[in-house]
Amino acid sequence: MRILILGGGAVGALMAQRLIREKNEVIVIEESGDRCVELEDVLDAKIIEGDASSIKTLERAGLLTADMLIAVTSNDETNVLGCLIAQAFSNVRIKVARLRTHEVERWRSICASKLLDIDLVIHPDSETVESMLQVVALPGVSDIVQFAEGNVKLFGMNVEGGSWLVDKKILELDDLSPDSNFLVAMILRERRVIIPRGDDAFQPGDHVYIMVPSEYLDDAFNFFGLRKVDKVQRVFVLGGKQLGIEAALRLEASGVQVKLFERDYERCQKISTLVKNTVVVHADGTDQRILAEENIRGIDAYLALTGDDEVNIIASLLAKRLGCQKAIALVNRIDFMPMAQLLGINSTFSTRLVVVDRILRYIRKGNVVSVTTFREEEAEAIELVATPGSKYVGKALKDVAFPRGLLVGAIVRPTGEVVVPRGDSVIDLDDHVIFFCLENLIQKLEKSFIF
């Protein structure tokens, strides 16, 4: 596939790396000459210096022969205009745009019209906040990912040093839980990603992902000793950019008492006109004295959402030490995520990965429903629809020689029935199947599963 990316920033570069690795031909348009030089050093792609909203630049980049256009510049107008030019002057099959405007819902309807016909509009801030809010009331849960229209959920948790899980083998869990309505799908151990087998044992410091039918989610929480806050009452938000405002608005709408910390006085004044019940504090939300004065001890959650990853990590550690129940950090540098986990921050979110994961579903072959990336792109959860011709269809899983590093996490029948896979489980035609796969096995999975 020939793919044109508008914008060579962090998201554009990350997207290009993934697409190049999938054997796609990638062309990147970037306005900054210095950034073009950097991209040429790290990407096996054609780099075009120029304005992504210029018809001439787009034609020079090969718009007329492109199969897909991904508009992820830092400017919403440029992204929309780039898609409009593609609609008017080319036969690009798929158009994707990232928009950061707070009017995104109104823009979605415009972008879906025949005028623009944009296939996917991504608003990273609202989608990231949505992911964060799912775990605000769950102190021991890092994140929750939904599959099969919400019928299946995947949650992450840490294995602490004194946990009863330490040294337990995965196959032992079936004896301890007679219902066995869950499956251990992945273990992040220091800088390794493990797609486990039954004889793998838990170690202190492991970050574990567990797949469970949605109806048994609370049962799984109870089994693994994860408590749930009955009602979230108080939350602190650090950072007054759009992400922090979005989080505050969503929280206050659900009746939560919110304090938002922002160091820029003029920004505080603007924020106060946008929120209703949120208390906007003109102060350094990483100052121990300030946090103590604002009564941080016992708050349900502290959301560190500044544009600085290091500040967010340090602030989350401080908040935990001062007695908050849950610390969540925005960490956009993917290589920082393992470090954050080792430091004890198990809830980290990246707006960049949100964008990449959403776009990947349009890149893969066959009936790919969703793609979720883990760690430094070392593993993926891929939801696929079983198609005729796949060598996995109609066979018991125990009779399929899956390579180490590939695991079936769940099977969802067309009726909505969720099968927690065991050796005798069979993949039928039209089932939704969630696979967990190390990065180096993704292409092998596609060749085996998609005819």
Residues 26 and 89 in one domain: yes
Q: How far apart are CA 74 and CA 51, in angstroms?
A: 12
For residue 380, the SS3 value is strand
How far is the CA of 441 from the CAs of 190, 192, 366, 407, 430, in angstroms?
Answer: 21, 16, 17, 11, 23
- Give the pLDDT confidence score for residue 308 in this predicted structure: 95
Which residues, in sequence order, are CB contacts of 164 under 8 Å at separation 6+? 225
Q: How far apart are CA 265 and CA 281, in angstroms?
A: 9
- For 322-375, where are the alpha helices, taking DSSP H only? 337-342, 351-360
Q: Which domain holds residue 379?
A: 355-449
Residues 116 and 164 in one domain: no
Residue 31 is part of a domain; what is its CATH number? 3.40.50.720
Tally of domains in the chain = 4
Residues 184 and 268 in one domain: no
- Give the pLDDT confidence score for residue 365 in this predicted structure: 53
Q: Could you tell me if residue 211 is inside a domain?
A: yes
Residues 362 and 295 in one domain: no
Residues 8 and 102 in one domain: yes
Q: Could you tell me if residue 368 is inside a domain?
A: yes
> And the tokens for 298?
């016992």
Instruction: Count CB atoms within 10 A of the CB of residue 63.
Output: 21
List, for residues 139-198, the tens digit of each pLDDT value. Answer: 999 999 999 888 999 999 999 888 999 999 999 998 887 677 899 999 998 878 999 988
Q: How far apart are CA 354 and CA 331, in angstroms?
A: 12
How far is the CA of 45 from the CAs of 21, 29, 52, in angstroms?
Answer: 11, 11, 16
Residues 386 and 420 in one domain: yes
DSSP letter at 214?
G
Could you say which of 99, 122, 145 is where a domain stops? 122
Could you say which of 158, 189, 223 is where a domain stops? 223
How far is the CA of 234 from the CAs of 241, 254, 289, 328, in angstroms?
Answer: 20, 11, 19, 14
DSSP labels, 147-189 = EGGGTEEEEEEE--TT-TTTT-BGGGHHHH-TT---EEEEEEE
Instruction: Count CB atoms within 10 A of the CB of residue 179.
Output: 11
Residues 105 and 176 in one domain: no
Q: Could you tell me if residue 272 is inside a domain?
A: yes
Residues 215 and 239 in one domain: no
- Give the pLDDT confidence score for residue 251 in this predicted structure: 97
Q: How far apart are CA 262 and CA 305, in angstroms?
A: 11
Residues 403 and 309 in one domain: no
Q: Could you tell me if residue 349 is inside a domain?
A: no
Which amino acid would we find at residue 367? N
Residues 196 and 238 in one domain: no
Q: How far apart are CA 313 and CA 327, in angstroms?
A: 9
Q: How far apart are CA 100 and CA 317, in angstroms?
A: 29
- Give the pLDDT confidence score for residue 352 in this predicted structure: 87
> And the tokens for 21?
């690795």
- Give the pLDDT confidence score for residue 183 in this predicted structure: 94
Q: Could you tell me if residue 34 is inside a domain?
A: yes
Pair type for strands 141-147 and 432-438: unpaired
Which residues, in sequence order, are CB contacts of 69 under 8 Å at separation 6+? 3, 4, 5, 6, 63, 82, 83, 86, 92, 94, 95, 96
Residues 246 and 327 in one domain: yes
Write out residues in the chain with pLDDT < 70, as ranges.
178, 361-366, 376-377, 450-451
- For 90-161, where are the alpha helices, taking DSSP H only? 104-111, 124-133
Q: Could you tell me if residue 363 is inside a domain?
A: yes
Residues 439 and 373 in one domain: yes
Instruction: Count CB atoms within 10 A of the CB of residue 381.
Output: 24
Q: How far apart are CA 207 and CA 346, in angstroms?
A: 8
Q: Could you tell me if residue 194 is inside a domain?
A: yes
- Give the pLDDT confidence score for residue 226 in this predicted structure: 92
Could you say which of 303, 338, 373 is where a domain stops? 338
Q: How far apart are CA 116 and CA 127, in angstroms?
A: 22
- Give the pLDDT confidence score for residue 391 in this predicted structure: 79
Residue 182 is part of a domain; what is its CATH number? 3.30.70.1450
- Give the pLDDT confidence score for residue 446 in this predicted structure: 73
Q: Could you tell me if residue 320 is inside a domain?
A: yes
> And the tokens for 137?
């009331």
- Give the pLDDT confidence score for residue 248 in this predicted structure: 97
